A = this chain, B = another copy of it.
Amino acid sequence: MRTDLETGPEAELLERFRAGRRVALARAISMVEDGRPGFETILHALHPQVGRAQRIGLTGPPGAGKSTLTARLAQAYRDRDERVGIVAVDPTSPFTGGALLGDRIRMNGISTDPGVFIRSMATRGALGGLATTSKEVADVIDAYGFERIIMETVGVGQSELEIAGTADTSVVVLVPESGDSIQAMKAGLMEIADVFVINKADRPGADRLAQEIEVMLHMRLGEAAPAAAGHHGVNLKGLGKAARQRTRAAAQEQGGWSIPVVKTVAQNGEGLDELLRTLDRHHGYLQDTGELSIRRRRRLAERVRAVVERRLQRMAWAQGRGAEILEESLPGVERGDESPYAVAERIVREVAGRAD
């Protein structure tokens, strides 16, 4: 990675980026997305400008109307003259990239607005983890000066939760029909949700689902994890019961966030005003309590970890002799003459340049 940025192609790109040239934004994002040479240099250089945008994560089961909701939210922010980046991520499959892009195109009204930047990402082409890459794409949009960034994910798997759950404000979108299936996914969703949305709330079952969520939130609060301290990685598992109670008490004293359940009908805009107010209120809460800094610090630490691991992987497979050693050894491993562990040891030695 180059850190001297007086000259060279990265310096040129950065200059145009900082001058607000939209084509430079698109190019920087593509570099990051494809992991092209110099992409870390760009991210390194932009780091001081990152951290001004509010990042909103939107997750929930397929068919919950997240795309429509995202389009509505983006429009609402545009009406306030705020610029919006949308990063739509589908980690489930390389095959669904097309469908996601199709969803995006339905965002007709906003797709030609220069104050909106939309990028769809699927597994294809992402090196070292889609979760990290999508957050790096959000960083670039953030550094460009956009005020809001919406990270929309397609499902509720682990990768999706990792992406949506590391936003400043994580929104879990459900529909009345989700009732049956949320039981099993509740742990993951409960951990990340700052706000619940019941979309398509004009259908039967919306009130029942809202009640179920309230009950679940209440149980969880009583159980171990306070609303203000129990999600976003403050690990309560390792604490004793007394310590957990102290943490909970502290969270309540300082005015913990009580997770709201907002009903919307994204299709006709119903409930959007309330959702918008709720998101603003959560952003204010994060700022007032210092929770925003805590979340961002955690995000930076995670980033360092992810970048280290991505580099080590590249050293092993892309730059080093790892792939070659693996290929040579595979027949012996298949015959049982050599174990995968012995081969791995040889590759690690190669990367580390030392015996371990």
Identify the A interface with B (CB < 8 A): 1, 3, 40-41, 43-45, 47-48, 51, 61-63, 91-96, 124, 154-161, 177, 180-181, 183-185, 187-188, 191, 237, 293, 296-297, 300-301, 303-305, 307-309, 311-313, 315-317, 322, 326, 329-330, 333-334, 336, 339-345, 347-348, 351-354, 356
Contact = CB atoms under 8 A, between A and B. Distances in A.
A179 to B, nearest CB: 11
A297 B341 contact: no
A62 B340 contact: no
Given A40-B341, A341-B40, A300 B334 contact: yes
A336 B188 contact: no
A188 B45 CA distance: 37
- Determine how many copies of this chain the complex contains: 2
Given A188-B93, A312-B312, A351 B348 contact: no
Contacts of A322: 308
A315 B61 CA distance: 37
B312 A351 contact: yes
Given A185-B92, A356-B315, A180 B180 contact: no
Given A157-B160, A311-B356, 7 more contacts: A45-B339, A47-B336, A93-B187, A155-B184, A297-B334, A304-B344, A307-B341
Contacts of A316: 308-309, 312
B353 A308 contact: no
Nearest to A220: B95
A201 B109 CA distance: 44
25 contacts: A43-B340, A45-B339, A47-B336, A48-B339, A61-B184, A62-B181, A62-B184, A62-B185, A92-B161, A92-B185, A92-B187, A92-B188, A93-B191, A155-B184, A157-B157, A157-B158, A158-B159, A300-B340, A304-B326, A304-B333, A305-B326, A307-B341, A308-B347, A311-B344, A353-B353
